[in-house]
Amino acid sequence: MNVLLGVGGGIAAYKSAELARALMERGLRVQVVLTDAAQRFITPLTFAALTGRKVITNLFATASSEETLSSAIEHISVAQDNDVMVVAPATADLLARLAYGHADDFLTTTYLAFTGPVVLAPAMNSNMWAHPATQENLNILRKRGHVIVEPEDGLLACGMTGPGRLAEPDRLADVVASLGLGSKDLDGETVLITAGPTQEPLDPVRFISNRSSGKMGYALAEVAGERGARVVLISGPVHLPAPQGVTLIRVHTAIEMRNAVFEHLAEATIIVKSAAVADYHLSRVPQHKVKKTATRMSLELDPTPDILAELGQKKGDRLLIGFAAETENLTAGARSKLESKNCDMVVANLVGQDGTGFESDENEAVLVLSTGETIPLPRAPKREIADRIFDQVMKLRLALHAAQ
Ligand code: CTP
């Protein structure tokens, strides 16, 4: 697969050299295009040495009329020769030019001529990132279906701490590589995904909830959509943008989530229950705010409906994938959930560790399958975990078809 790597002019440009190497390590062929500004931070020679290919630096590079003509149409052939385009670092200025279709240098011109998937990895100062102008440009680019690999939090070159650091090259390379696989193997499937926490009110201003960020469920929705599925995403309250092309239904409580799931069950062929549904709620919520008193108070909670268990009984020939958050005996706990809730697969997460699980961008899991198989998924970005989950779902689909 051929990757067009566009490098913008930012301090993070040096990391795109590492990205070029990481892409090549994954067997991808890399063509680098540097903007004028990028060349102030890193030289074409660095990329030429790494990729073994000529680096493109300018729309009108040469003086002679014949060469000018060939370089003037080169962006069309570069656009046609590459399967995926990745821009890293995507500066605030580049995002604006891409969003509005400017074609004033080689990279932006090639972008307009390019028809494949585009990955944008922004990097900039936190205030520039948070600025409504940048966020509006990002929304335009997201709506266009581009994959935005959000910057990471940390100490920035300007001395500020916050979001703005270019995503790690290895993570970026994984995203690019997974896009290139580009198979639409979920074409014809409708995937119903639940994500995020639920919020169970205690009175008009208070609720019980949990630490789920929804990132795993949203990654599953993105990946399923990219692999050709129709996706219905039923989400508890989270701070994540709606994935492109997905039907998003927002809910708060376990009961609302249950009702939304069963409203859409008929259309679903695959159900993925990644939501962290509250197990208990207050069945009668007071209409007014509960006042503080000097005495001790206790809550009497009732169980919420177990959506997964009910789905297990009503799923028919749909594939049902549950999640299990365990703090010990991961595989055994997941297998007993698989059996008791009639799932086809359980994605088991060990929770309570650093760097994976609820709020993290990465995850580590064990897939427990109804075929008896147990497949460990080592720590990886949630999008990659999502891809591995759907790989196994499709294997199950084939195995079940073959058994019929
Ligand atoms: N789940 C659900 N409805 C609930 C509670 C959980 O559908 N009321 C689903 C979750 O979406 C997840 C799975 O059940 O797919 C497992 O959730 P988990 O919290 O790990 O397990 P529980 O069934 O709640 O069991 P326990 O807490 O005892 O481990």
The preferred substitution site among 271, 272, 280, 306 for testing ligand 1, maximizing ligand atoms within 8 Å of CB, is 306
* Token pair belonging to 303: 């169980």
CATH 3.40.50.1950 intervals, the chain: 2-178
Band of pLDDT at residue 379, cut at 50, 70 and 90: confident
Q: Strand, coil or helix: what is 2?
A: strand
- Compute the distance from residue 275 Cα to the ligand 1 centre, in Å: 8
Q: What is the pLDDT of residue 402?
A: 66
Q: How far is the CA of 312 from the centre of ligand 1 (A)?
A: 12
Looking at the domain that runs over 190-279+299-403, which CATH code has it been given?
A: 3.40.50.10300
Which residues on adjacent β-strands are paired with residue 192? 232, 271
> DSSP state, 245?
T
CA distance 166 to 124: 8
pLDDT value of position 156: 73
Whether the link from the prior residue into 169 is cis, omega within 30° of 0, is no
Of the listed 1, 72, 128, 158, which one is catalytic? 158
Q: Is 343 a catalytic site residue?
A: no
Q: Which residue has the tokens 């279709």?
A: 101
AA identity, residue 241: P
The predicted model scores a pTM of 0.61
For the cut 50, the answer to whether the pLDDT of residue 68 exceeds it is no
**At a CB cut-off of 8 Å and minimum separation 6, what does 36 contact?**
9, 57, 58, 105
- CATH class in words for 2-178: alpha beta
Segments of the chain assigned to CATH 3.40.50.10300: 190-279+299-403
CA distance 170 to 152: 13
Give the distance from CA 370 to its chain's centroid.
Answer: 27
**Distance (Å) from CA 154 to ligand 1 centroid:** 34
pLDDT of residue 268: 98
Q: Please write the tens of the pLDDT for every residue from 310-366.
A: 999 999 999 999 999 888 889 999 999 999 999 999 999 887 766 666 678 888 899
| Span 189-236, pLDDT tens digits | 999 999 999 999 999 999 999 999 999 999 999 999 988 999 999 999
